[in-house]
Structure 1
Amino acid sequence: MIESGTMEIQAAVARKAHGDFTVETVKLADLAPDEVLVRMVATGVCHTDLSVVEGILPLPLPLVPGHEGAGVIERVGADVRGLAPGDPVVLTFSSCGECPSCTDNHPAYCDHYAALNFATRRPDGSATLSDASGHALGGVFFSQSSFATYAIATPKNIVKVRADAPLALLGPLGCGLSTGAGTVFNVLKPTPDTTLAVVGAGALGMAAIMAAKILGVRRIVALDRVASRLDLARELGASDTIDTLAQDPAEALAALGGIDQAIDTSGVPRLIEAAVGALRTRGTCVLLGASAQTDLHLNVMQMIGGKSVRGVVNGDCEPGELIPKLIDLHMEGRFPMERLVDYYPLRDINRAVADSRSGRVIKPIVTFE
Structure 2
Amino acid sequence: MTAGRAAVLEAGAFTVSDVDYGDPGRDEVLVRLVASGLCHTDLAVLAGGIPFPAPGIIGHEGAGVVERVGPGVTEVAPGDKVLLSFTSCGDCAACTADHPAYCETWLPRNLLGALRQDDAGTITRDGQPLAGHFFGQSSFGTFAIADRRSLVRVAPDADLTALAPLGCGVLTGFGSIWNVLDPGPEDIVAVYGAGAVGLSGVIAASLRSPARLIAIDLVAERLDLARELGATDVIDAGAEDVATRLAEITGGRGVDLSFDTTGSPGVARAALDAAAIRGTVLVCGAPPPGTEIAVDIQGMLTGKVLRGVTMGDASPQQLIPQLVALHAEGRLPLERLERAYELDEIARAVEDMHHGRTVKPVIVF
User: In structure 2, which of residues 282, 307, 310 is the aligned counterpart of residue 313 of structure 1?
Assistant: 310
- The answer to whether the 8 A contact 1:127-1:136 is kept is no
User: 1:297-330 CA deviation, whole Å, 9 max, x = no partner?
Assistant: 1211001110011110000011111001011011
Name 1:278's counterpart in structure 2.
Answer: 274
Name 1:360's counterpart in structure 2.
Answer: 357
In structure 1, the gaps of 5 or more residues are 1-5
Match of 1:138, as an amino acid?
A
Name 2:124's counterpart in structure 1.
Answer: 130
Tell me the CA shift for residue 98 of structure 1.
0.8
Name 1:58's counterpart in structure 2.
Answer: 51
- Say whether residues 1:243 and 2:236 are aligned partners: yes
- The answer to whether the 8 A contact 1:128-1:140 is kept is no
In structure 2, the gaps of 5 or more residues are none
Match of 2:64, SS? Answer: strand
Q: Give the whole-Å Cα distance in 1 for the aligned partners of 2:281 and 2:26.
A: 43
- The answer to whether the 8 A contact 1:326-1:335 is kept is yes
Tell me the CA shift for residue 122 of structure 1.
5.3
- Given the superposition, is the C-alpha separation of residues 195 and 333 from structure 1 closer, same or farther in structure 2, using an over 3 Å criterion? same
Q: Give the whole-Å Cα distance in 2 for the aligned partners of 1:183 and 1:236.
A: 17
Q: Give the whole-Å Cα distance in 1 for the aligned partners of 2:298 and 2:24.
A: 56
> Which deviates more, 73-82 or 42-51?
73-82
What does residue range 194-343 of structure 1 map to in structure 2 within 5 Å? Answer: 194-257=187-250, 258-292=254-288, 294-343=291-340
> Which deviates more, 286-295 or 85-94?
286-295
- The answer to whether the 8 A contact 2:24-2:121 is kept is no
TM-score by length of 1: 0.95
Q: Give the whole-Å Cα distance in 1 for the aligned partners of 2:91 and 2:208.
A: 32
Match of 1:251, SS? Answer: helix
Q: List structure 1 runs of 4+ shifted beyond 6 angstroms.
A: none
User: In structure 1, which of residues 3, 25, 40 is the aligned counterpart of residue 33 of structure 2?
Assistant: 40
Number of corresponding residues:
360
What does residue range 85-96 of structure 1 map to in structure 2 within 5 Å? Answer: 85-96=78-89
Name 2:3's counterpart in structure 1.
Answer: 8
Name 1:22's counterpart in structure 2.
Answer: 15
> Which deviates more, 246-255 or 184-193?
246-255
Match of 1:225, as an amino acid?
L
User: 1:76-134 CA deviation, whole Å, 9 max, x = no partner?
Assistant: 113211211111100000011110001111000001111211333452466722222x2
- Say whether residues 1:145 and 2:142 are aligned partners: no
- The answer to whether the 8 A contact 1:203-1:363 is kept is yes
Q: Give the whole-Å Cα distance in 1 for the aligned partners of 2:26 and 2:191.
A: 43
User: 1:187-237 CA deviation, whole Å, 9 max, x = no partner?
Assistant: 010001111100000000010000111112231100000000000000000
Name 1:349's counterpart in structure 2.
Answer: 346
Aligned-residue CA RMSD (Å): 1.4
TM-score by length of 2: 0.96
